[in-house]
Amino acid sequence: MIGKMLGNRYEIQEKLGGGGMAIVYKARDTFLNRLVTIKILRPEFTSDDDFVARFRREAQAVASLSHPNIVNIHDVGQEDAIHYLVMEYVRGDNLKNVIKQKGYLEPIEAVRIAVQVSEALEHAHQNNIVHRDVKPHNILITTEGRAKLTDFGIAMEATSSTITRTDTIMGSVHYLSPEQARGETATPKSDIYAVGILLYEMLTGKQPYSGDSPIAVALKHIQETPLPVDEVNPDVPTELANVVRRAMDKKPELRYRNAGDLARHLESALEDTGQNTVILPVVGTELAAAPGAKTSDPYQAESAETADHQKEAAIPKTWTWIAVAVLVIGLMVGGVYGFFNYMDVPDITVKNVVGMTEAEARAELEALDLGVKVQEKYDDEKEGIVIAQDHGPDDPKVKPQRVITITVSKGQEMMEVPELLNRSVSEAVVLLDQAKLTLTQPPAYQYSDDTEKDSIIEQSPAAHEKAPRGFAVRITVSKGPEPKMQTIPDLRGKTLRDAASILSAKNLVLNEAEAGYEDSTDYPANRITSHTPGPNTEVEEGTEISVVLSRGPGPVEKKVNVEVKDVIPDDGRVHSLEIVVEDLEGRKLRYADSHDANDKVRKKITYLGRGVLQVFVDGELVQEEELP
């Protein structure tokens, strides 16, 4: 593609990189004399309507956006089978490489980048565009330090069509939100989750979730909680760590309302860390005034006349006072009597009833004059067994009638195992998560003639059986039909064309593109001198064979005198005699004639490199030997 002119305007200069769907080049816009970036759909996808639609969708999605932190699209076109986008050329590097170079970023730098990304997402979300693949690879950092969001290749309008396909987990799995991993709708809050993961990686240099396979990572997004970012990097302020935690919350409704809200909280988190806390003195409800000072209490400004009037109205009758006094004294005496009677009751040590049945525990506690409250909970312990109590023998003693709450096991919560046969592993993960079950990792694999590759052929427990909540279901995945084995023939001395033909007949593949060369005096130029795997090695059909070719000068021609005797039957008849030589140039007939038993045949034979001499009488091999 280097040097090619697209649209009679864009001259491709160099390759910048590539992803799973497209290859990215730097080019020059000959009309405006400026550098641009061109993304070209990979040739293998141009015949796939789905990929072409996704490619066009990126153009449509970004074309509707205009923001300083989003890479702009200048043009879109098609030339023959080439589909391409023309975008703004950004001088700098992607954020993933920046993190690798620095190890991790300082909080102020990480926040600056995350704020710009959040503002870009806010603009996209306001235009009903969900990015769905926010990751450091898709964030370009210019030489001036500005962050620019790119690669809207799997972005979609925020509608019901935004549901992640269950057969293919869209987006990079390390930055995938839990709802996307479960196959649910991707929303703007899914992008906010990805920014939280991005912040975690910038501040620590590590991704919060890792695993041996994409499925394992996806499961961790759903099931696990990572170590807080300020525990991984103690230099991260607590306020900033709280913002990261909230952005990464597994429940979308607990994350920030929108990307703009996230950006504002990030800015305030750094501002808050630079302020000191001011402690104000506690002010009493009564203020002492200086002698002679005027009080501001309006209630003290009442006139003497009003106060005297209130005093007169407040004087109770004598009998009323006597009745009140008697009542108060009676209550005081009764209260003191009751109090000392209560204090005289002996304290009780609560017995440990964990491990007993509910009936046994109730009897033990009630025998101590204690009340019992029962709550139930699913547990691995047998149904009906007490698994916890809120007060026990190691706690302080209690008074009689104290209510003790005991927790009784309901047994294991049993879930119905879903049907997984003929489904992909990613589909199985989603179905099991919905059923509150998990998947044994890694799954087993075996060959199958009946089930297509990567589909599940066995599961345990079987579909519709019951299994405890959280149980790990075992599956076996098809590797497709078992490949047949073939023995590699000796290809030394063969040309590439001959070798390819020989290997093709055995369903093997010649790796011509990576053929090596070496000096050789045993084989002519451009003949195979060695190959890997070597001759007579048994391999699976479809295996690639790598070869080394001779650069020359090659072997010299050799001559040998061949004498044939005592091979023709002495029966008085004439027989046909043939001499065949097989050398580096192939198999050739060097002599053919008719003779009887009395004839002596001498012949000078020439050959290249190694050779084998064969003598045939009446078409049957009667003599064979290697030539010196």
pLDDT tens profile 378-416: 888 899 999 999 999 988 888 888 899 999 999 888 999
Q: Which CATH architecture describes the domain 358-409?
A: 2-Layer Sandwich (3.30)
The residue among 396, 101, 488, 108 whose CA lies nearest residue 271 is: 108
On average, the pLDDT of the chain sits at: 84
User: CA dist 523 to 169, 391, 559, 585, 626, Å?
Assistant: 52, 90, 17, 10, 17
The CATH superfamily assigned to 5-88 is Phosphorylase Kinase; domain 1 (3.30.200.20)
Q: Decide whether 414-478 matches 485-553 in CATH topology.
A: yes
145: left (phi over 0), alpha (psi -120 to 50) or beta: left
Q: Mean pLDDT lowest for which of 287-291, 415-419, 519-523? A: 287-291
Identify the architecture of domain 558-627 in CATH. Sandwich (2.60)
Confidence of residue 511 (pLDDT cuts 50, 70, 90): very high
Q: Do the bridges between strand 444-446 and strand 472-478 make them parallel or antiparallel, or are there none, so unpaired?
A: parallel
- Give the pLDDT of residue 497: 94
Residue 157 is predicted with a pLDDT of: 44
Question: Considering only CA atoms, which of 109, 156, 110 is closest in space to residue 133?
Answer: 156
Domain spanning 92-272, CATH architecture: Orthogonal Bundle (1.10)
Decide if pLDDT at 256 tops 80. Answer: yes
Amino acid letter, 495: T
Cα distance between residue 211 and residue 226, in whole Å? 13
Q: What is the pTM of this model?
A: 0.46
Q: What is the pLDDT of residue 332?
A: 60
**Helix (H/G/I), strand (E/B), else coil: 20:** coil
Asked whether the beta carbons of 551 and 515 are under 8 A apart, the reply is no
Amino acid at site 97: N
Lowest mean pLDDT among 122-126, 215-219, 442-446, 492-496: 215-219
Report the CATH fold assignment for 485-553.
Trypsin Inhibitor V; Chain A (3.30.10)
In the numeric block, which tokens belong to residue 452?
């297509």
Band of the pLDDT at 322, cuts 50, 70, 90? low
For residues 35 and 58, the model is more confident at 35
SS3 at position 593: strand
> What amino acid positions are annotated as catalytic residues?
133
Residue type, 116: Q
* pLDDT recorded at residue 73: 87
Tokens of 407: 């927790």
Domain residue spans of the chain? 5-88, 92-272, 358-409, 414-478, 485-553, 558-627
For 284-313, the pLDDT digits (tens) are: 333 333 333 333 333 333 333 433 444 444
Largest Cα–Cα distance of the chain, in whole Å?
169
Please name the helix (run of DSSP H) or strand (run of DSSP E) that holds residue 189, with its range, or none.
helix 188-204
- Rounded to whole angstroms, how far apart are CA atoms 7 and 446? 50
CATH node for 414-478: 3.30.10.20
The pLDDT tens digits for 176-200 are 999 988 888 789 999 999 999 999 9
DSSP string, 509-559: EE--TT-EEEEESSS-TTSEEEEES-TT-EEETT-EEEEEEEEEE-PPEEE
